[in-house]
Structure 1
Amino acid sequence: MNIKLRLVAMNFLQFFIWGSWLISLGGYMIVTLKFTGVEVGSIFATMGIASLFMPAVMGIISDRFVNAEKVLGISHIVGGLLLFTASGIKDYPSLYIIMLFNSMAYMPTIALANTVSYNALEKSGLDIMKSFPPIRVWGTIGFICAMWMVDFMGATKSPVQLYIAGGSAILLGLYSFTMPKRPPLKPGDARSFATTLGLDAFILFRSKKMAVFFIFSMFLGAALQVTNLFGGSFLDDFKGRFPDSFGVQHPNLLLSISQISETLFILTIPFFLQKFGIKKVMLFSIVAWVFRFGLFGIGDPDKGLFLLVLSMIIYGMAFDFFNISGSLFVEKEADIKMRASAQGLFMLMTNGLGAFFGGILSGWVVDFFTSPNGIRNWQNIWFTFAGYALVLAIAFPLIFKYKHDRNAVRGPVAH
């Protein structure tokens, strides 16, 4: 089979697994298992904990000891078995432990899948920079397809979503063993734990500009998963007022507009970076988060459905203009000798520390605005998150000092 098609299948399944539960698990835990906001937030925060060290650990194992495709396969099989186990658990402490181990198994596979893909393309004599992006887009398509499948099966509030995720994880685990071999690197080529994790890039904090950038990256990272955590339960709480509305009947379909928007906004990044520079593009992202949360606060699945749809569309700008543009900025500003470490540091600040604190703090906010009889004041909840983003939007341009040079941007963006 054509190697590109094989990689499309691998990337499709890679994110199909995640899409099966990431958007709907929060609703399942709140509505069906009756978990508190803090409990839900802490379970999602396990992804942040795992992102702090597991990608580095698995990266070193694949660089030094075991073929990358085998590490990828084993990780997915272990993750799949853990998801099957999670489907039968109803209490918070046990589910927390299982999902923590699942995060430790799954989060490293995102980077490992890239490594396996790059290796396969290189062995086939293909240009990685030209060939991989169209392949990677199928990962987002897989994520959306999983959301739709869970929705149409009526599994957004049931453990069936975990069976779907677990089955697809084991399938991908077995499939990974058939990918082109990527053996361990030569001793001199393998990166250290500190380099893989990005710790040696902490020298960048000596620059005030980079220090401010990384700190705001952590603050923004806290916002990335908030609507993923609570979007499903938010829509479900309208079932008493609008039981037949589209958003209540098909929450995952409505929420999937966010991922569709994300794929479209990726294409606009080179233009915006070239014209406005990283400072304004990051500011656009922060302001987009204000509208993302604010529109959730005033929208509803009935007459306010257009406001929710607008929020989903804005998500593409909020997510991409921060995540991808930030990565490009790090690539441009870091010394060539530590670019890999700098990217590791960026991921640590956003998907590690940011995701961890975001999961915990958002859970506290939800519980604070939940009455003793379990009724949640979603407008206050979303306005609190919008206020948080607004504070960042005001502070960022005042603190982050950066002068845009259009000529300097052309190289990295084109690359």
Structure 2
Amino acid sequence: MTAGIRVKLSAMMFLEFFIWGAWFVTMGTYLTKTLHATDVQNGVAYATQSLGAILAPFIIGLIADRYFSAQKILGVLHLIGAGLLYYTTTISNFDSFYPIILIYMIIYMPTLALVNSVSFKQMKDPSKEFPPIRVLGTLGWIIAGLTIGWLGWENKGSLVLTFQMAAVASLILGLLSFTLPDTPPAKKGQKTTFADIIGLDSIGLLKNKSYLTFFLASVAICVPLAFYYNFTNPYLNEIGVKAAAGVQSMGQISELLFMFLMPLFFVRLGVKKMLAVGMLAWVLRYILFAYGNVGLNYWMVIGGIVLHGVCYDFFFVTGQIYTDKLAGDKFKSAAQGFITLATYGVGMLIGSYISGPIVNKYKISDTAHNWQSIWLIPASIAAVVLIVFVLFFKDKNHTETQPGLNIQEPSASTEI
């Protein structure tokens, strides 16, 4: 891969996640303060991510993989997305905002797979070449949050600018996409079935009782996960945290740190303990949020955010490794698609629809909530999931880790 291509792919990945992080983190605050949306409407708005995740495989499976080059579809989707994002800034009520953001998320979510496809096509050894490029995506999300915090858009009531900033970035990425190396359709002329699209070929994995336990736990843990994505920014702003979006970016910094440390933990803990520690981190995070404040317990708020690295890496990344090794070469792609559809699609969708009514139930005024009662609910859900997982997941599989383990393609073997 030439230096020029590497730079383009890095810019593509940076912009891909900068766009998402620019408006997604603070949307809840924008909806409640600017569009005067209810907590229920806030949850519904965030559910568009899950609806987009559910529909994305069909767009990729029926269009990108069969008819058009990935970089061209990426460009078209981001140009349309730029227009939709900018149009949201002209809307003054939630009822008009919702269908636009729904259409946008249905368009955006497929691009997450497309940027990976474009990247992998240019690589001889993705396990070594992809991580330095993918890390630019996390950096893009961090920079977006820090920019919002530095400019003080939350405190100034100017969060409409986040959508404009994302629109400009989407326009740039849309144009950049047409200059990316050609990535022709991978399955041109091949017949694609419904089972292929949603990864049903890998459903046989569920016959393994341990994997079934992991699969159900993955779906269930995404219910409390929705509380974090949907309401952390409104919570931070409500309790008086300054530059909340910038503070939240500490979660992504933590994610990067633990991503590098994961091989060390993986060797010592193994799959079951890694997954359990990840779920325990969710319980601790919400307890810290429940009792945190901007006074003496501010460390609890920061601690809850920093735990994001453990929450995400230890559970989701370990789960991807576990799924990858259990599926084998034949069903790797199908298995990853199936677990993603179940978690970020079904699990998060359920969480988004129940989080809004719960938060609204504990609203004590137009500008305040009983956040302690709110956060203890996802903490309880995560605790139940953790207990069930520990009881029913039999760690018969063990992972023998060799030197050189990395997160993207671990040198490990899982014995069934």
Q: Is the 8 A contact 1:15 1:139 kept in 2?
A: yes
> How far apart, CA to CA, are the structure 2 residues paired with 1:148 and 1:154?
10
For residue 48 of structure 2, what is the aligned residue in structure 1? 46
Does 1:108 find its partner at 2:143? no
For residue 396 of structure 2, what is the aligned residue in structure 1? 403
Does 1:349 find its partner at 2:342? yes
Does 1:367 find its partner at 2:360? yes
Does 1:233 find its partner at 2:239? no
Local SS of the residue matching 1:371: strand
Does 1:127 find its partner at 2:111? no
| Letter matched to residue 234 of structure 1 | Y
CA displacement 1:301-325 (0-9 Å, x = unmatched): 2322211111122111011111111
Q: Is the 8 A contact 1:67 1:182 kept in 2?
A: yes
For residue 243 of structure 1, what is the aligned residue in structure 2? none
| Letter matched to residue 106 of structure 2 | M
For residue 215 of structure 2, what is the aligned residue in structure 1? 214
**How big is the shift at 1:394?**
1.5
Provide closer, same or farther for how the CA distance between residues 194 and 152 of structure 1 changes in structure 2, counting only shifts above 3 A.
same
Of 286, 290, 296, the residue aligned with 1:297 is 290
Provide closer, same or farther for how the CA distance between residues 406 and 232 of structure 1 changes in structure 2, counting only shifts above 3 A.
closer
Q: Is the 8 A contact 1:27 1:233 kept in 2?
A: yes
Deviates more, 1:268-277 or 1:141-150: 268-277
Q: Is the 8 A contact 1:291 1:311 kept in 2?
A: yes
Provide closer, same or farther for how the CA distance between residues 268 and 189 of structure 1 changes in structure 2, counting only shifts above 3 A.
farther
Deviates more, 1:190-199 or 1:90-99: 190-199
> How far apart, CA to CA, are the structure 1 residues paired with 2:140 and 2:201?
35
**How big is the shift at 1:388?**
1.3
Q: Is the 8 A contact 2:68 2:185 kept in 1?
A: yes
Which segments of 5 or more consecutive residues in structure 2 lack a partner in the other structure?
A: none
Local SS of the residue matching 1:237: helix
- In the alignment of these two chains, the number of paired residues is 403
Of 142, 151, 154, the residue aligned with 2:152 is 154
> How far apart, CA to CA, are the structure 2 residues paired with 1:306 and 1:186?
51
Local SS of the residue matching 1:407: strand
Local SS of the residue matching 2:136: helix
Does 1:2 find its partner at 2:4? yes
For residue 139 of structure 1, what is the aligned residue in structure 2? 137
> How far apart, CA to CA, are the structure 2 residues paired with 1:149 and 1:9?
18
For residue 268 of structure 2, what is the aligned residue in structure 1? 275
Q: Is the 8 A contact 1:72 1:109 kept in 2?
A: yes
> How far apart, CA to CA, are the structure 1 residues paired with 2:365 and 2:294?
25
**How big is the shift at 1:404?**
4.4
**How big is the shift at 1:207?**
2.6
**What TM-score do you get using the length of structure 2 for normalisation?**
0.92
For residue 89 of structure 2, what is the aligned residue in structure 1? 87
CA displacement 1:274-303 (0-9 Å, x = unmatched): 222211111101100011111111111232
Does 1:339 find its partner at 2:332? yes
> How far apart, CA to CA, are the structure 2 residues paired with 1:187 and 1:3?
25
Q: Is the 8 A contact 1:27 1:231 kept in 2?
A: no
For residue 379 of structure 1, what is the aligned residue in structure 2? 372
**How big is the shift at 1:19?**
0.8
Q: Is the 8 A contact 1:65 1:184 kept in 2?
A: yes
Q: Is the 8 A contact 1:235 1:301 kept in 2?
A: no
Deviates more, 1:316-325 or 1:190-199: 190-199
Identity rate, percent:
34
| Letter matched to residue 141 of structure 1 | L
For residue 71 of structure 1, what is the aligned residue in structure 2? 73
CA displacement 1:235-263 (0-9 Å, x = unmatched): 22224xxxxxxx2x211121111110011
CA displacement 1:120-162 (0-9 Å, x = unmatched): 23xxxx4221111011101100101011112222323421111
| Letter matched to residue 238 of structure 2 | D
Local SS of the residue matching 1:64: coil
CA displacement 1:173-211 (0-9 Å, x = unmatched): 110010000112354777644223212222322332222
Q: Is the 8 A contact 1:84 1:162 kept in 2?
A: yes
For residue 176 of structure 2, what is the aligned residue in structure 1? 175
> How far apart, CA to CA, are the structure 2 residues paired with 1:409 and 1:200?
30
Local SS of the residue matching 2:68: coil
Q: Is the 8 A contact 2:235 2:371 kept in 1?
A: yes
> How far apart, CA to CA, are the structure 2 residues paired with 1:118 and 1:344?
16
Q: Is the 8 A contact 1:277 1:404 kept in 2?
A: no
Provide closer, same or farther for how the CA distance between residues 331 and 25 of structure 1 changes in structure 2, counting only shifts above 3 A.
same
Local SS of the residue matching 2:51: helix
> How far apart, CA to CA, are the structure 2 residues paired with 1:166 and 1:355?
25
Local SS of the residue matching 1:394: helix
> How far apart, CA to CA, are the structure 2 residues paired with 1:127 and 1:408?
20
**How big is the shift at 1:99?**
1.0
Local SS of the residue matching 1:352: helix
> How far apart, CA to CA, are the structure 1 residues paired with 2:255 and 2:193?
33
Provide closer, same or farther for how the CA distance between residues 168 and 215 of structure 1 changes in structure 2, counting only shifts above 3 A.
same
**How big is the shift at 1:386?**
1.1
Q: Is the 8 A contact 1:224 1:319 kept in 2?
A: no
Q: Is the 8 A contact 1:60 1:190 kept in 2?
A: no
| Letter matched to residue 206 of structure 1 | K
For residue 62 of structure 1, what is the aligned residue in structure 2? 64
For residue 383 of structure 2, what is the aligned residue in structure 1? 390
